[in-house]
């Protein structure tokens, strides 16, 4: 099973007691002697209503940034903006309902963020997901296409329109949130890893094209991050135990882990870094993808998982 890392001390398998604090983004960077200031800068965060996107938005706001969060649910966006604004008075959060698969909505949201103070300094693209999982021989083709639309086309729309504004502003930084499933095969994850691999290549392509205009484009490959979406995985002894076995730092990641890396890539401290996909996964990329057979075998059967129809 995973070791806990929610504050205080804990014990990892085979190791003694270790300090296991998760610090807020601003505190952690200050303790490292690095000041990451985003005062008077404006950033756009897709998927900003919850999970990783919310954590990134909070980190930026606490560092003094203006943050526009996007998502499909206006109520959730409103609640998130209110919560962060109360906790981070040095920054400011606004929200704009938008679906990343709708190019017109994305173009309008990018324009709204740019109009905030006349320039868009950066984008964190967190929106993504998968419409289906299961054996490739039983894949739902419509759900596959919908996932391609979300993770590939949606990413292109966000990058296309935000890059235009950052080029006009003299430069900027784009960070795309990918997945370890893009580099390590995750059996039965269907279109998710495939489309995240596409996002990785889009990031590298854009970095090569846009460098001459001082727009940096990078990505982050999270491992298993403790969010609402993966709680059922963490609650499964078989699956969470398998994750621990294939992760050198055997604990689930926290939203703060991804926010820390993201703020670094957005900052001037990373001004000569572009075209990189950074794994923030506890080292899982060194080993293998997880085994989800305990979750999926009841639905598909052992033969179904090996392709028998």
Assigned token pair, 176: 């795309």
192 in active site: yes
Alpha carbon distance 189, 96 (integer Å): 30
Non-local (6+) Cβ contacts of 131 within 8 A are: 140, 143, 144, 146, 147, 150, 191
Please name every residue paired with 106 in a beta bridge, in sequence order, or none if there are none: none
Q: Which listed residue (192, 243, 292, 300) is catalytic?
A: 192
Report the SS3 class of residue 177. Answer: strand
**Cβ pair 260, 28 in contact under 8 A:** yes
In the chain, the DSSP E strands lie at 9-11, 17-19, 42-46, 66-71, 92-97, 122-125, 172-177, 215-222, 277-280
- Residue 166 token pair: 């950052």
Residues marked active site are found at 192
């Amino acid at each position: 099973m995973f070791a806990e890392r929610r504050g205080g001390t804990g014990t990892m398998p085979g190791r003694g007691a270790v300090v296991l604090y998760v610090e807020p983004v601003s505190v952690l960077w200050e303790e490292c002697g690095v000041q990451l200031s985003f005062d008077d800068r404006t950033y756009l965060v897709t998927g900003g209503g919850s999970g990783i996107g919310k954590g990134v938005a909070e980190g930026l706001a606490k560092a003094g940034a203006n943050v526009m969060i996007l998502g499909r649910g206006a109520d959730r966006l409103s609640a998130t903006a209110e919560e962060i604004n109360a906790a981070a008075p040095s920054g400011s959060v606004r929200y704009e309902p938008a679906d990343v698969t709708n190019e017109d909505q994305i173009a309008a949201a990018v324009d709204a963020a740019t109009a905030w103070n006349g320039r868009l300094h950066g984008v964190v693209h967190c929106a993504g997901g998968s419409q289906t999982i299961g054996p490739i021989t039983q894949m739902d083709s419509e759900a596959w296409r919908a996932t391609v639309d979300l993770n590939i086309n949606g990413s292109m729309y966000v990058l296309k329109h935000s890059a235009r504004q950052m080029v006009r502003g003299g430069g900027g930084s784009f960070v795309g949130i990918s997945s370890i499933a893009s580099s390590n095969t995750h059996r039965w994850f269907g279109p998710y890893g495939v489309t995240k691999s596409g996002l990785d290549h889009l990031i590298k392509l854009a970095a090569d094209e846009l460098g001459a205009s001082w727009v940096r484009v990078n990505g982050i490959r999270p491992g298993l991050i403790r969010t609402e979406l993966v709680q059922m995985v963490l609650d499964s002894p078989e699956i969470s135990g398998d994750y621990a076995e294939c992760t050198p730092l055997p604990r689930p990641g926290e939203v703060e882990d991804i926010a820390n890396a993201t703020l670094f890539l957005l900052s001037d401290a990373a001004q000569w870094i572009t075209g990189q996909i950074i794994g923030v996964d506890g080292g899982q990329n060194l080993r293998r993808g997880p085994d989800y057979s305990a979750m999926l075998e009841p639905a598909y059967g052992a033969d179904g998982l090996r392709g028998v129809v």
